[in-house]
Structure formats: structure tokens, C-alpha cells
């Protein structure tokens, strides 16, 4: 048995005799299709095992570490598929890494390399900074309740500034229900709140700040350890019993993984986030596979929402508040799609959830919608509006996913020596045409899309003062324009390569810089780290200081998210400007996002 098949856990046809199915016809195609499915199935099981191993290792160490580059999907490896050449031996197609270690050895290596949770380095403790200071006035349960409210009141709105669900959607009540139902989410939430509170304490002269900080470092570690233990137990239950028949329970586990992913990005943004992202996308794919099919005319996502409803109804809950599980799933799916799409730009792969984008995000044209029966429209329309969650219209997220897919396709064709420039330009022109059309509409509507009619002025008055301040509308409009223009730059580089001096790139960068300088407030920068980095990496020498000044203007807000990481990436690109331009054919945005030592998720 060859090492390649052994590593993939599939039957091996090692030998010199040509198999019967190698007929360059239907038998070979049937065998190839079967093999793809078999590889995907076994890859899923391997990922689940590795994820459990990583969680176990994280519980044991709880240390800052880095993760190796993301493992590509074995089902995309052409070396494992049957070929028409009977003279090609199995040994000539096996991966290089498989020649030096057995599958058991590879699993052990992966186990040793899998990261623990990324925790910041705590300050030196002092005799006055003890747990006893807090135990005098706070019990464990009281502290956790207090920290939970800190998270709900301050941290959650800060981390997700655009997510402000209206009254008829039942607001954010689902989050409190989820915290009560799912211990992994609760403990991750408490650790994130402790981290944010610690950062705030670091910028205060309050006399009790030092004991508070010492306590919060200890609390951070304690809550993260409990979160990992709970998530590991949940994942083990999924592996043991499967997903089918446990839709609500599995969606809560998905929410747990999303929280861990958010924690990684907010705290350190080491390469550890890849592990959680892959687990989340795999889990969501399994949910769709087992529970997404219910009716021919309904999208898979509305089928999931209907099954999670608090009470049976024949149509979508458009006239009912979302149940806690429905609201939780909508939130998790919106962010996993967003994270997955942005991650694709640094991992040099199409978004893993690309096949779901159409049902989740694509808005049909007016002619198509008019052709649908009125009673069926709710079933067929997308039920994720990214503007409600990340402040971006769906077409911006779709465009990034399409360009990342084009980039991966281009690189694969180049490796195979089969790249057609005319086909590349044709595919890019379709994306660009849609992009330019939507940008024109964005400008006409002042950046935030067409106004929605107010059907209930009383509810509008009740909802908007606290949930939709005027400043938020301005921020959404401004950040959407920045994202859209940066996507134009991204597409240009994918198609034409690294050419920072080209007129098209210079014009797009200049336009984006103008938008950056007119943002309503420095806090807006938190929402545009990906477009900010895309633009900054292409900045001319005389434009570099503008980007440094924009980060400096953020003040203490630099400590949250990826602002510091963004500037670090740009500084590395600027410092190596000459050598990069001399080897422009070997450089792109994925290389930029990896220049900090690991793939960065720029959120």
C-alpha cells in the first residue's frame, strides 16, 4: 500500500497491472466521482479527530503558540484521482510528506503542532494582587453574572458594532438564552469580557486597578480552560452520535466555535484561528447535509430556520420574532460566511462555503422575483443580510469570494502550465462588470442601499433611537465605500499581478485613501482592517505615513482586533519594496497576509 493512499485512508491499487475501470470513459469517471466522495468523507473524520486532539492539547498547555499552514482539502488533490496513463506508478504521485512518515506518525506530529488557545502574557503579579482581594466581596456565581452583564452591555456591542437587531426580531435576547444553555459559549464569553476589562484597566489610574488586573488574568485563564473542556465534550458527543436529529444542539456547538474564533482574532490573531474556522465550516456543512433538505422550492437555510422555530408554522417567521435558536443560527452563519470569505484571501483557496453563497446571499433580480408566486417569495429569498451583521451589502462579500476563487484557479492553472490568459480576463471581466455596477448604485444611494419603507412608525421610534443611531448609518455608508473600492484593487492585483505603479492601481489606491481620510471617526477603522491592509500594501512611499497616522489616531483602540497586525504587515511590505518589485511574479496579497509569520485573518 502506498503512503498516499494510507494517509488518505482509502483502498490502494498499488501495482503494475492496469485496473479494469481505467477505460478513459464512463467507468473511470464513475470511479473518480466515487473516490472524491470517499476522500471527503474520510477527511471529515480526520479533521474531527485532529480538532479534538487540538482542544485537548489546548486544555493542557493554554499557551501562546502558532499553527502550521492550513492543510488543503485532499479532495482537491489531483494526485489521488485515477489517470489515463497506465505507466504512471503510484509512487510517482504520492505527496512528498507521505514518503517520510506513516499516517500514525503524521497524526502524532499534527497533535504536537496543534495550538493551544492564544493568551496574552500576564503582568508580573505582586503580593497585593491576589485572588483573596476579590473573594472578600464576590462569590464565583456573582462574579460570573456581573462579567456576563459587562459582556452584554459593553463587549458584545463593541466586537459586533453593526449587529443591532430590531425589536420585532426580539433583539439580542437570544444571546442571553444561549449563554444559559451552552457552557462553552458562556466561558469563552467570560474570558473575552475579562480580557477587555483588563485592557481598559491598563489605561486607568484607578487605585484598585492592579488587584483588578491580577484577578482578571487569572479569571481569563480559568474561563478559557473551562471553555475548551466544554467544547471538547460537545465535539465528542457530535463525533459519537452524529448531527442528524440534533439540529438545535449542533447549532449551539457552532456558536461555541464562532466565539472561540472571535476570541482568537480579538486577542492575538495568531495562526490558531485556522483550526477553529475549519471546524466551523465543516460543522455547518454537516448541518446542511443532514437537515437542509425539506422542500424543493425552499432554500436549505430557510429549511433549517423552520425546523428551529419555537412553534410550527407553514411559512418563514417573517411575521414572528426569531426564536433563540433561529437568531443564534442566523448570527453564526452570517459571521462564519464572512470569516470564511476573508480568510480565503490569505489562505489561497476558494471560500469553503462558496457553494452556499447563492442561497444565503444572492439577491435575485426584479424580473425573477416578479415571476415567483407571492406566497413563495419568503421561501426563496436569501435570509442573511450581511449589512445587519457586518455593515456590508451582500454583493461586496460575494465579490471577495469570487475573486479569491479566481485567484486560486489562476494559481492552480499556473502550476499545471495550463493558464489561459484570455479565460482569466473573461472571468475577471464578469466580476468587474458586476462590481462597477454595484459601486455606482452604492454612490447613488449614499453608501447604504435603498431606503426601506417604514410600515410602523411607532415601532420605528421605539427601535431606532437606541439601536440605529444616525452615526451608525453614516459609518455604514463610509465603510461600505472603502470596502468596495479596495475590492477593485484586489481584483486588479489578482488579474494583472503585483504592479503598484500601474495607473489603475494608483487611481484605486488614491480614491481609497481619500475615503479613509474622510471617515466619520477613528473608531471606524476597526471595521475596515481588510480593505485598509489591501490598500496600504499598495501605497507609494509618499503615502506610507498616512497609514501610520490613521492607526495612531485610533489611540487605545489599536489594542483590539487586527489594527496592529495590519500595520505590521504593511511595514514589512514597505521595507522590502525593492525586492518584492524585482520578484513581482512571486508576490501577491496572500503573501502579504502571511508576511507576519502566519496567515492573518484581517478583521
In percent, the amount of the chain with pLDDT more than 90 equals 29
Residue 577, class by beta-carbon neighbours within 10 Å (0-12 exposed, 13-18 middle, 19+ buried)? middle
The CB density around residue 303, as the number of other CB atoms within 10 Å, is 17
pLDDT above 70 (res 208): no
Angle between helices 470-496 and 529-536 (to 10 degrees): 40
For the stretch 429-448, pLDDT in tens is 999 999 999 999 888 876 55
Name the DSSP class of 15: S
**DSSP string across 24-79:** SSHHHHHHHHHHHHHHHHHHHHHHHHHHHHHHHHHHHH------PPPPPPGGG-GG
pLDDT above 50 (res 114): no
Q: What integer pLDDT is reported at residue 96 of this predicted model?
A: 39
Cell numbers placing 372: 415567483
pLDDT above 70 (res 553): yes
pLDDT above 90 (res 423): yes
Band (72; pLDDT cuts 50, 70, 90): very low
Q: What integer pLDDT is reported at residue 118 of this predicted model?
A: 52
Q: What integer pLDDT is reported at residue 61 of this predicted model?
A: 45
| Nearest Cα to Cα of residue 238 among 274, 201, 287, 199 | 287
Mean pLDDT of 121-138: 40
Q: What integer pLDDT is reported at residue 513 of this predicted model?
A: 96
The CB density around residue 338, as the number of other CB atoms within 10 Å, is 19
Band (87; pLDDT cuts 50, 70, 90): very low
Mean pLDDT of 382-400: 90
Flag the least confident range among 41-55, 279-293, 332-346, 458-472.
458-472
CA distance 578 to 584: 10
Mean pLDDT of 36-54: 64
**DSSP string across 228-244:** HHHHHHHHHHHHHH-ST
Q: What integer pLDDT is reported at residue 73 of this predicted model?
A: 42
| C-beta separation of 191 from 227 below 8 A | yes
For the stretch 315-358, pLDDT in tens is 455 556 788 888 899 999 999 999 999 999 999 999 999 999 98
| C-beta separation of 287 from 251 below 8 A | yes
Task: Mention every residue, 6+ apart, whose C-beta is less than 8 A from residue 490.
Answer: 345, 400, 403, 534, 589
Cell numbers placing 112: 504536537
Question: Which carries the bigger pLDDT value, residue 159 or residue 539?
Answer: 539
| C-beta separation of 573 from 592 below 8 A | yes
Band (458; pLDDT cuts 50, 70, 90): low
Specify whether the backbone of 449 is left (phi greater than 0), alpha (psi in -120 to 50) or beta: left
pLDDT above 80 (res 454): no
| Nearest Cα to Cα of residue 600 among 341, 270, 257 | 270
CA distance 36 to 433: 34
Query: 239 to each of 131, 244, 324, 425, how far by Cα in Å?
Result: 38, 11, 25, 44
Cell numbers placing 130: 491576589
Cell numbers placing 368: 425573477
The four Cα atoms 148, 150, 154, 157 give a dihedral, to 10 degrees, of 0
CA distance 75 to 36: 6
Highest mean pLDDT among 202-216, 301-315, 483-497, 555-569: 483-497
- Note if the pTM is more than 0.85: no
Band (506; pLDDT cuts 50, 70, 90): very high
Flag the least confident range among 108-117, 298-307, 346-355, 368-377.
108-117
Cell numbers placing 389: 451583521
CA angle, residues 379, 381, 383, in degrees to nearest 5: 95
Highest mean pLDDT among 198-212, 230-244, 354-368: 354-368
Mean pLDDT of 95-103: 38
pLDDT above 60 (res 404): yes
Q: What integer pLDDT is reported at residue 93 of this predicted model?
A: 37
SS (H, E, C) 66-120: CCCCCCCCHHHCHHHCCCCCCCCCHHHCCCHHHHCCCHHHHHHHHHHHCCCCCCC
For the stretch 220-261, pLDDT in tens is 777 777 877 887 888 888 878 878 888 888 898 899 888 888
Residues making up the chain, counted from first to last: 603
Question: Which carries the bigger pLDDT value, residue 39 or residue 492?
Answer: 492
Q: What integer pLDDT is reported at residue 130 of this predicted model?
A: 37
Q: What integer pLDDT is reported at residue 54 of this predicted model?
A: 58
| Cell 474561563, residue located | 223
pLDDT above 70 (res 29): yes
In percent, the amount of the chain with pLDDT more than 70 equals 71
CA distance 228 to 55: 6
For the chain, give the mean pLDDT: 76
Q: What integer pLDDT is reported at residue 62 of this predicted model?
A: 40
Q: What integer pLDDT is reported at residue 465 of this predicted model?
A: 40
Flag the least confident range among 206-210, 495-499, 526-530.
206-210
pLDDT above 90 (res 569): yes
Amino acid at each position: 500500500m502506498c503512503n498516499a493512499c494510507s494517509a488518505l485512508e482509502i483502498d490502494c491499487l498499488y501495482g503494475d497491472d492496469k485496473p479494469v475501470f481505467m477505460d478513459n470513459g464512463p467507468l473511470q469517471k464513475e470511479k473518480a466521482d466515487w473516490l472524491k466522495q470517499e476522500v471527503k468523507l474520510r477527511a471529515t473524520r480526520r479533521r474531527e479527530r485532529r480538532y479534538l486532539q487540538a482542544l485537548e492539547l489546548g486544555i493542557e498547555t493554554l499557551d501562546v503558540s502558532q499553527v502550521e499552514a492550513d492543510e488543503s482539502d485532499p479532495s482537491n488533490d489531483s494526485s489521488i484521482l485515477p489517470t489515463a496513463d497506465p505507466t504512471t506508478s503510484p509512487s510517482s504521485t504520492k505527496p512528498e510528506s507521505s514518503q517520510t512518515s506513516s499516517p500514525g506518525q503524521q497524526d502524532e506530529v499534527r497533535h504536537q503542532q496543534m495550538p493551544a488557545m492564544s493568551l496574552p502574557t500576564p503582568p508580573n503579579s505582586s503580593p497585593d494582587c491576589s485572588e483573596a482581594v476579590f473573594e472578600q466581596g464576590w462569590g464565583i456565581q456573582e462574579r460570573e453574572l456581573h462579567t456576563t452583564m459587562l459582556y452584554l452591555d459593553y463587549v458584545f456591542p463593541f466586537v459586533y458594532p453593526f449587529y443591532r437587531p430590531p425589536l420585532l426580531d426580539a433583539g439580542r435576547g437570544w444571546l442571553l438564552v444561549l449563554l444559559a444553555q451552552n457552557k462553552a459559549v458562556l466561558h469563552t464569553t467570560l474570558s473575552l469580557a475579562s480580557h477587555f476589562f483588563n485592557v481598559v484597566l491598563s489605561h486607568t489610574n484607578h487605585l484598585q486597578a492592579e488587584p483588578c488586573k491580577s484577578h482578571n488574568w487569572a479569571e481569563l485563564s480559568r474561563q478559557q480552560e473551562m471553555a475548551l473542556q466544554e467544547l471538547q465534550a460537545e465535539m465528542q458527543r457530535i463525533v459519537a452520535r452524529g448531527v442528524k436529529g440534533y439540529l438545535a444542539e449542533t447549532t449551539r456547538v457552532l456558536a461555541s466555535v464562532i466565539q472561540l474564533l472571535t476570541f482568537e482574532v480579538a486577542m492575538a490573531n495568531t495562526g490558531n484561528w485556522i483550526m477553529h474556522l475549519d471546524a466551523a465550516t465543516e460543522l455547518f456543512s454537516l448541518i446542511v447535509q443532514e437537515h437542509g433538505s425539506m422542500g424543493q422550492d425552499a432554500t436549505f437555510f430557510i429549511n433549517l430556520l423552520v425546523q428551529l422555530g419555537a412553534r410550527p408554522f407553514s411559512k418563514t417567521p417573517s411575521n414572528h420574532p426569531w426564536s433563540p435558536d433561529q437568531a443564534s443560527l442566523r448570527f453564526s452563519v452570517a459571521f462564519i460566511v464572512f470569516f470564511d470569505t476573508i480568510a480565503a484571501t490569505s489562505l489561497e483557496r476558494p471560500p469553503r462555503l462558496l457553494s452556499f453563497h447563492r442561497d444565503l446571499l444572492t439577491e435575485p433580480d426584479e424580473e425573477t422575483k416578479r415571476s415567483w408566486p407571492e406566497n413563495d417569495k419568503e421561501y426563496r429569498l436569501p435570509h442573511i443580510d450581511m449589512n445587519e451583521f457586518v455593515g456590508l451589502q451582500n454583493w461586496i462579500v460575494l465579490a471577495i469570494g469570487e475573486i479569491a476563487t479566481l485567484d486560486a484557479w489562476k494559481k492552480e492553472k499556473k502550476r499545471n502550465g495550463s493558464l489561459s490568459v484570455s479565460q482569466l480576463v473573461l472571468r475577471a471581466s464578469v466580476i468587474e462588470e458586476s462590481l462597477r455596477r454595484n459601486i455606482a448604485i452604492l454612490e447613488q444611494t449614499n453608501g447604504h442601499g435603498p431606503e426601506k419603507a417604514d410600515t410602523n412608525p411607532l415601532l420605528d421610534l421605539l427601535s431606532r433611537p437606541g439601536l440605529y443611531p444616525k452615526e451608525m448609518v453614516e459609518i455604514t455608508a463610509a465603510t461600505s465605500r472603502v470596502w468596495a473600492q479596495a475590492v477593485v484593487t484586489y481584483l486588479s492585483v489578482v488579474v494583472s499581478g503585483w504592479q503598484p505603479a500601474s495607473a489603475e492601481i494608483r487611481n484605486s489606491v488614491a480614491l481609497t485613501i481619500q475615503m479613509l481620510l474622510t471617515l466619520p471617526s477613528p473608531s471606524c477603522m476597526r471595521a475596515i482592517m481588510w480593505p485598509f491592509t489591501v490598500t496600504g500594501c499598495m501605497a507609494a512611499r509618499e503615502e506610507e505615513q498616512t497609514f501610520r497616522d490613521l492607526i495612531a489616531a485610533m489611540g487605545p483602540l489599536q489594542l483590539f482586533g487586527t489594527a496592529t497586525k495590519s500595520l505590521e504587515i504593511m511595514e514589512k511590505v514597505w521595507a522590502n519594496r525593492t525586492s518584492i518589485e524585482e520578484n513581482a511574479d512571486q508576490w501577491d496579497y496572500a503573501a502579504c497576509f502571511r508576511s507576519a509569520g502566519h496567515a492573518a485573518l484581517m478583521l
